[in-house]
Homo-oligomer: A and B are copies of this chain.
Amino acid sequence: MGVVDRRLWSEHRQRMFRRMLEDIEVGYLDPDIYSILQLLFNRQESFPVSSCSGRITLVDAPMPWHRKGSTVIFKKHSAVERSEVEPLLSQPPLSRFWLVVTGPILHVSALTLREASTLLKIARKAGLKHSGVLSISRRGIYLELRTGVRLTILLKSESYTCEHLAEVVRVANEALAEGKSRLKRLYEELSRSST
């Protein structure tokens, strides 16, 4: 389509590939997502820019989507146990404690609109239904692939403390598992489309 500058795009692709190799080496890379990054790099007209396989966080913030005045108290990319969260709730929050579960998110740069469209279709088929193109520039067509999996549960505020933490943790782990299973479907759909 002539929107994206192929040279800029390819240079960025090389930088991201090297960064992935470094991340693997230092053990920083989330293993749940590694095989998907490989499949994306294996495509001729896409590469992954950043990714998260899904996680559970405990956040101190007025609202869970705020950045300002917000602190991440705890973060884990696999199931949590009540005993990991409970001691953190004994202190008073600066604003409010939220238990936030997010499904997988991938940011991908595509070279062409046709490739961007193909990826969006694959992502939707795998249950990443809230996927879309975030921006279009000379540097690339920038996609976000994500699910609607998201929980934001109020655990503590000035006049409130959650008294059913066991149940909340159970529901949070169930949500996290649902996100991970969509990531697996994404892997399968990407495999199928690359053969």
Interface residues of A (CB under 8 A from B): 1, 3, 63-65, 96, 113, 116-117, 120, 131-137, 143-144, 147-154, 157, 159-160, 163-164, 167-168, 171, 174-175, 178
Decide if B150 touches A171 in the complex (CB within 8 Å). Answer: no
Known: A132-B132, A157-B167. A151 touches B117 (CB 8 A): no
**Which B residues are CB-close (under 8 A) to A65?**
147-150
Minimum CB–CB distance for A59 against chain B, Å: 13
Known: A1-B1, A152-B150, A152-B153. A178 touches B63 (CB 8 A): yes
Quick one: copies of this chain in the complex? 2
Complex formed: what's the CA distance from A82 to B183 in Å?
38
Complex formed: what's the CA distance from A178 to B68 in Å?
15
Decide if A113 touches B132 in the complex (CB within 8 Å). Answer: no
Decide if B148 touches A151 in the complex (CB within 8 Å). Answer: no
Decide if A116 touches B136 in the complex (CB within 8 Å). Answer: yes
Decide if A134 touches B120 in the complex (CB within 8 Å). Answer: yes
**Which B residues are CB-close (under 8 A) to A136?**
113, 116-117, 133
**Which B residues are CB-close (under 8 A) to A164?**
159-160
**Which B residues are CB-close (under 8 A) to A154?**
153, 167-168, 171
Complex formed: what's the CA distance from A160 to B162 in Å?
10
Complex formed: what's the CA distance from A143 to B134 in Å?
10
**Which B residues are CB-close (under 8 A) to A168?**
154, 160
Minimum CB–CB distance for A193 against chain B, Å: 17
